[in-house]
Amino acid sequence: MKEMIVEQLKSRVGLSQEQATKAAEVVVEIVESKGGELKDKLGGLGDMAGGLLGGKKD
């Protein structure tokens, strides 16, 4: 995941390899430390989007 983030930061934002690597490390740390919380929030967003688009609700 980290390498994908590095490549995206380099191509989209124009960061150097060193800057992109440091930024990616921060992102990975945040995702790892907030993993469960982010999963809950993203899951809720998916449920909401499905409901808005006429998806089946449980």
Joined tokens for residue 1: 């995941």
In this model, does residue 55 exceed pLDDT 60? no
Residue type, 55: G
Q: What is the pLDDT of residue 32?
A: 84
Query: How far is residue 26 from each of residues 12, 23, 31, 33, 46, measured CA to CA in Å?
Result: 17, 5, 9, 11, 25
pLDDT in tens, 23-45: 999 998 988 888 767 667 666 66
Q: What is the pTM of this model?
A: 0.60
